[in-house]
């Protein structure tokens, strides 16, 4: 996305572009891309994936298989991707193979230089081949340490840390002024979204001072420290501010066709009856603060089914529903996993709750949705929990809606036969658990494969509150609680 924005900026308005950032690939927004292709008659896809068996190829296949889109195209689709090469863990070579601004610009100019009707042929200058695993020059692709002019002081910079990573947070400073520095010493540690990355010395000398502090956010290439290097270390380093060799001129793109039209055009006004959104705009805005992740797990249904039958025999029509039993199991799992007792306030602070609510999604007339809170869910006895659950749902359906501050919301479409879905997380909640309808699935039980009745749990959680392993442990605890559920005395 960053490289595409840079390329569009270099166009300086000569070409109008619909820039679409797909936020998911399963499902992907087919309607949006189809509308853009119908409007512009062109399609350029930029991806960090390899060309073979890629999402870009999937999108092109879809577009070319639709008769109306095929008829609307004025030029063949263009795919700008990483070369079909294996990089391994080498950020420098990785960046050398990824799409860059010149390749994106080349693709744009090539597609707007073609304007043909279906069946008409046109001579097009061959495109420059994409770079494929050519040996990368480290100085071109990686931030390099340099010398302060007239001294032996080495300027230490943040190195490239992997595909798509532009910044990191400083978590540890391992050297202080006067410390000796040897090759491969860890100078400091920075944290990206997924890992803690050590920044190591590629030189020897004496540490002079930091230009950063713990908790600072640093960018790739940023100056972070000074080290007075020894003679061997400084001999091969460039001096800051010295003249650098001019880069080779980028291959120019032939523009022999007539001036390219501006792709974007003013769309015709849309007509139709206005209806309110399914989600309130205030809720939609809060979704922007969530970093969603999702995982699925199957749970055997026989334990809950047996408990339901036992409850019906004991209490008749007043028996607790399977939904109440599952809610009870979720609360018991929350007691064992502190992260799932947290809420996120409007300022983004994560607040762990000693006593907590459980939210239950309730469908209302007119395609409206509300959440019923079971207040102090962890402190209630079984009988009180059943009563509180039923009362909360009834009050919400009757229109008595109050503010909910539940860490986890529970939702289900089992009544519609939906086996699995991906729920959303709405702050202050940090997670939403969807419970699907019971269905049969083959399971492996001690080496014996046989059909069993299961429900699928789909947990969406806020990744800034909890990581995947902890979320999986919580989901596993929910499963254990459900499969081992016994009707409380």
- Residue 226 maps to which CATH number? 2.40.50.100
Q: 238 pLDDT band (50/70/90 cuts)?
A: confident
Whether residues 87 and 153 fall in one domain = no
Kindly state whether residue 267 falls inside one of the protein's structural domains. Answer: no
Quote the pLDDT of residue 118: 53
Whether residues 338 and 477 fall in one domain = yes
Kindly state whether residue 123 falls inside one of the protein's structural domains. Answer: no
> How many domains are there within the chain?
3
Q: 117 pLDDT band (50/70/90 cuts)?
A: low
Beta-carbon count within 10 A of 318 CB: 10
Quote the pLDDT of residue 71: 87
Beta-carbon count within 10 A of 177 CB: 11
CATH number of the structural domain spanning residue 432: 3.30.559.10
Kindly state whether residue 127 falls inside one of the protein's structural domains. Answer: no
Quote the pLDDT of residue 45: 93
Helix ranges restricted to H, 288-381: 302-315, 322-336
Whether residues 321 and 462 fall in one domain = yes
Whether residues 170 and 105 fall in one domain = no
Q: 250 pLDDT band (50/70/90 cuts)?
A: very low
Give residue 176's Cα distance to chain centre: 37
CATH number of the structural domain spanning residue 41: 3.40.50.920
Quote the pLDDT of residue 272: 83
Whether residues 199 and 299 fall in one domain = no
Digit-coded pLDDT (tens) for 303-355: 999 999 999 999 898 899 999 999 999 999 999 999 999 999 988 899 999 99
Kindly state whether residue 148 falls inside one of the protein's structural domains. Answer: yes
Whether residues 361 and 409 fall in one domain = yes
Query: Does a cis peptide bond (omega within 30 degrees of 0) precede residue 27?
Result: yes
Collapsing DSSP to helix, strand or coil, 74 comes out as: coil
Digit-coded pLDDT (tens) for 160-204: 776 567 788 999 999 999 999 998 899 999 988 767 888 999 899
Residue 459 neighbours by CB under 8 Å, 6+ apart: 294, 295, 296, 297, 431, 432, 433, 434, 471, 474, 475
pTM tops 0.95: no
Kindly state whether residue 396 falls inside one of the protein's structural domains. Answer: yes
Kindly state whether residue 258 falls inside one of the protein's structural domains. Answer: no
Whether residues 313 and 437 fall in one domain = yes
Whether residues 318 and 459 fall in one domain = yes
Whether residues 156 and 97 fall in one domain = no
Question: Does position 252 have pLDDT exceeding 50, yes or no?
Answer: no
Kindly state whether residue 48 falls inside one of the protein's structural domains. Answer: yes
404: domain range?
A: 281-483
Q: Determine the average pLDDT of the residues in 3-19.
A: 87
Question: Does position 154 have pLDDT exceeding 90, yes or no?
Answer: yes
Most confident of 46-50, 278-282, 424-428: 424-428
Spatial separation of the C-alpha atoms in residues 336 and 411, rounded to whole Å? 21
């Amino acid at each position: 996305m960053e490289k595409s924005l840079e390329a569009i900026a270099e166009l300086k308005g000569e070409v109008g572009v619909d820039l679409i950032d797909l936020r998911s690939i399963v499902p992907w927004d087919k309607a949006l891309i189809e509308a853009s292709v119908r409007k512009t008659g062109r399609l350029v896809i930029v991806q960090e994936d390899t060309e073979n068996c890629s999402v870009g190829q999937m999108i092109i296949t879809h577009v070319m298989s639709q008769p109306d889109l095929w008829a609307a195209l004025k030029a063949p689709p263009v795919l700008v991707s990483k070369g079909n090469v294996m990089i391994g863990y080498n950020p420098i070579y990785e960046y050398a193979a990824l799409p860059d601004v010149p390749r994106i610009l080349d693709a744009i100019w090539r597609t707007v230089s073609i304007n043909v009707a279906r069946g008409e042929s046109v001579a097009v200058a061959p495109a420059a081949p994409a770079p494929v695993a050519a040996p990368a020059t480290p100085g071109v692709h990686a931030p390099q340490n340099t010398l302060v002019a007239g001294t032996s002081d080495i300027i230490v910079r943040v190195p490239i840390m992997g595909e798509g990573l532009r910044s990191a947070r400083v978590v540890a400073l391992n050297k202080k002024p006067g410390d000796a520095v040897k090759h491969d010493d860890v100078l400091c540690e920075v944290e990206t979204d997924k890992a803690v990355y050590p920044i190591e010395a590629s030189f020897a000398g004496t540490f002079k001072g930091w230009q950063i502090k713990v908790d600072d956010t640093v960018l790739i290439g940023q100056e972070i420290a000074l080290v007075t290097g020894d003679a061997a270390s400084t001999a091969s380093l460039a001096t800051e501010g010295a003249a650098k060799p001019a880069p080779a001129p980028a291959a120019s793109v032939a523009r022999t066709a007539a001036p390219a039209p501006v792709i974007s055009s003013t769309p015709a006004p849309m007509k139709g009856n206005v209806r309110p959104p399914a989600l309130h705009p205030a809720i939609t805005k809060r979704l922007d603060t969530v970093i969603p992740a999702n995982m699925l797990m199957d749970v055997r249904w026989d334990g809950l089914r047996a408990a339901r039958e036992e409850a019906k025999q004991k209490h008749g029509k007043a028996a607790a529903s399977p939904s109440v039993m599952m809610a009870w199991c979720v609360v018991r799992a929350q007691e064992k996993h502190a992260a799932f007792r947290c809420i996120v306030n409007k300022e983004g602070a994560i607040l762990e709750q000693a006593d907590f609510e459980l939210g239950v999604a309730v469908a209302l007339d007119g395609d409206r949705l509300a959440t019923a809170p079971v207040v102090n869910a962890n402190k209630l006895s079984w009988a009180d929990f059943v009563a509180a659950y039923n009362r909360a749902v009834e009050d919400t359906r009757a229109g008595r809606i109050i503010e909910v501050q539940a860490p986890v919301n529970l939702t289900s479409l089992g009544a519609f036969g939906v086996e699995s879905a991906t729920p959303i997380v709405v702050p202050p909640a940090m997670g939403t658990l969807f419970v699907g309808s019971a269905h049969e699935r083959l399971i492996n039980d001690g080496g014996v494969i046989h059909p069993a009745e299961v429900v699928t749990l789909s947990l969406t959680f806020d990744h800034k509150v909890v990581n995947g392993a902890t979320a999986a442990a919580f989901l596993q605890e929910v499963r254990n609680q459900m499969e081992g559920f016994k009707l409380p005395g």
